[in-house]
Structure 1
């Protein structure tokens, strides 16, 4: 798949690799192949819990990558044995821009900041692949669901933890995204019982696409494959997948799909190139222009 994925870079290596790897607080960003960025939540001692010191730079990094037109796919994963363990109940840190707020308003701003991460992942031009390497608990489950594709390591497991903590299990879009991934009955059971869903069950019910031993390299390879297709074709496909969840009618949604298809058919020669490539038994070279 090109250059092999090396994993997150520690502080001792960082200076020598600075052109290729950057660190933003508790976030590591790697480019194992030119087209794919791997974003690693890097607070393994807390199982990458959603402290503001982690989540604020995480969102900032996502926005920055979203504006980088050389990045064609993004992989999100966690360092250590956890993907993301949800709310940090011991050292959550302080969200920005909350000076002088009362406690209720502080809570609202805090939740809004976390909710914006879900929305940012959905709005990115690039497909986002969650490489779920371990526990995805509470907000971590929500984070994985906000990604477009989920791959799971054998050690991965998922839990809607809010109900176990005396709270609602509905948070950060979970009650919207989970039923659409696994169906309403399974989503209700997972959310109301607070039980763990292991990797094999997650694959069986559609919570993840599949279980793979080396989850990050597999996600990078998937991103590299996606990057080989037409850039606007991929972006429009993601857009229609996301808007399809909210479509009020099949007829209206099909019209939006059709316009996207016509847009690329008229403005590019991608279809002709794909036809030639099949006849010549080679990979197509999409230019997205005529």
Structure 2
């Protein structure tokens, strides 16, 4: 697989949202000619952008979107070597790519210290659909669609889809989508609980929500995300204990004291995310 030249357009773009005063970072997948399908280089560029957001003293929410008419079409199959000859199975094996690229991306997305939102501007297929589900909230364009495309090429859902999809839409719908590979439209995806909303200008709507979340107590938001995602793996007693511990940790934050003082004095709180 050839790497892009130094003069090539970056495969991932990073910008700060000026309206939020730099509190929202916008990360754009930028291979529109291939519907933003992932190469290993693109994964590394995404990790670098996420690192940049996390290292920022001002960024408290991230918006992920795609350039052009697609959000992300999953893996770029052009990077595999399917040519006949010795070691063909080894050369075409998707396992190493999943282990070295897609799995680290899925873990990274769900471990961010801030809310992460997807503005789904077009098709999200295969691991691109997994990427949407790795975000905390997704808002899609009416033209967007979601496809578990894996069965169409003899593979199984990856990048977290087998874990994320049934938790979003239930086992029956997850099986239907994964086995058939049928396209799910944006409105139905919203009705099924796969995404939060549909908006004509999905990026503007997602940015508006990101600005709102960035002004909230982001440490508490991230703890809430963690508790909700872990809840299905715990018994009630264990979850109650996890809630207690997280609540105690939040009780030591500046935002907790600010929120209570603002409530008692009937003023708007000013949260700092710490």
Quote the residue 2:268 is aligned against. 283
- Kept in 2: contact 1:51–1:93 (CA 8 A): no
In the alignment, structure 1 residue 123 sits paired with structure 2 residue 111: yes
Aligned residue runs from structure 1 range 129-208, under 5 A: 129-168=117-156, 170-208=157-195
In the alignment, structure 1 residue 39 sits paired with structure 2 residue 27: yes
Aligned residue runs from structure 1 range 17-32, under 5 A: 25-32=10-17
Stretches of structure 2 that go unaligned for 5 or more consecutive residues are 1-7, 82-88
CA distance in 1, matches of 2:62, 2:215: 14
- Kept in 1: contact 2:38–2:76 (CA 8 A): yes
Give the one of 197, 202, 215 matched to 1:210: 197
CA distance in 2, matches of 1:81, 1:105: 28
Once the two structures are TM-superposed, the CA of residue 258 in structure 1 deviates from its matched residue by 1.7
User: For residues 263 and 156 of structure 1, do their structure 2 counterparts lie closer, same or farther at Cα, with a shift above 3 Å needed?
Assistant: same
Once the two structures are TM-superposed, the CA of residue 162 in structure 1 deviates from its matched residue by 0.8
Stretches of structure 1 that go unaligned for 5 or more consecutive residues are 1-22, 95-101
Give the one of 238, 250, 253 matched to 2:236: 250
- Kept in 1: contact 2:47–2:105 (CA 8 A): yes
User: TM-score w.r.t. structure 1 length?
Assistant: 0.80
Once the two structures are TM-superposed, the CA of residue 209 in structure 1 deviates from its matched residue by 0.6
In the alignment, structure 1 residue 48 sits paired with structure 2 residue 36: yes
CA distance in 1, matches of 2:238, 2:221: 21
Give the one of 55, 62, 65 matched to 1:77: 65
User: For residues 104 and 241 of structure 1, do their structure 2 counterparts lie closer, same or farther at Cα, with a shift above 3 Å needed?
Assistant: farther
User: For residues 196 and 108 of structure 1, do their structure 2 counterparts lie closer, same or farther at Cα, with a shift above 3 Å needed?
Assistant: closer
Paired residues, number: 256
The alignment yields a C-alpha RMSD, in angstroms, of 2.4
User: For residues 50 and 256 of structure 1, do their structure 2 counterparts lie closer, same or farther at Cα, with a shift above 3 Å needed?
Assistant: same
CA distance in 2, matches of 1:42, 1:225: 26
- Kept in 2: contact 1:75–1:131 (CA 8 A): yes
Once the two structures are TM-superposed, the CA of residue 88 in structure 1 deviates from its matched residue by 1.5
> SS at the partner of 1:70?
coil
CA distance in 1, matches of 2:214, 2:207: 10
CA distance in 1, matches of 2:49, 2:68: 20
CA distance in 2, matches of 1:43, 1:287: 35
In the alignment, structure 1 residue 220 sits paired with structure 2 residue 207: yes
In the alignment, structure 1 residue 60 sits paired with structure 2 residue 48: yes
- Kept in 1: contact 2:63–2:206 (CA 8 A): yes
User: TM-score w.r.t. structure 2 length?
Assistant: 0.85
Question: Could you list the per-position Cα deviations for residues 92-116 of structure 1 after superposition, in whole angstroms to 9, with x for gaps in the alignment?
Answer: 389xxxxxxx936974332212211
- Kept in 2: contact 1:65–1:71 (CA 8 A): yes
Quote the residue 1:3 is aligned against. none
Once the two structures are TM-superposed, the CA of residue 122 in structure 1 deviates from its matched residue by 0.8
- Kept in 1: contact 2:151–2:178 (CA 8 A): yes
Give the one of 227, 239, 250 matched to 1:264: 250
Once the two structures are TM-superposed, the CA of residue 242 in structure 1 deviates from its matched residue by 3.0
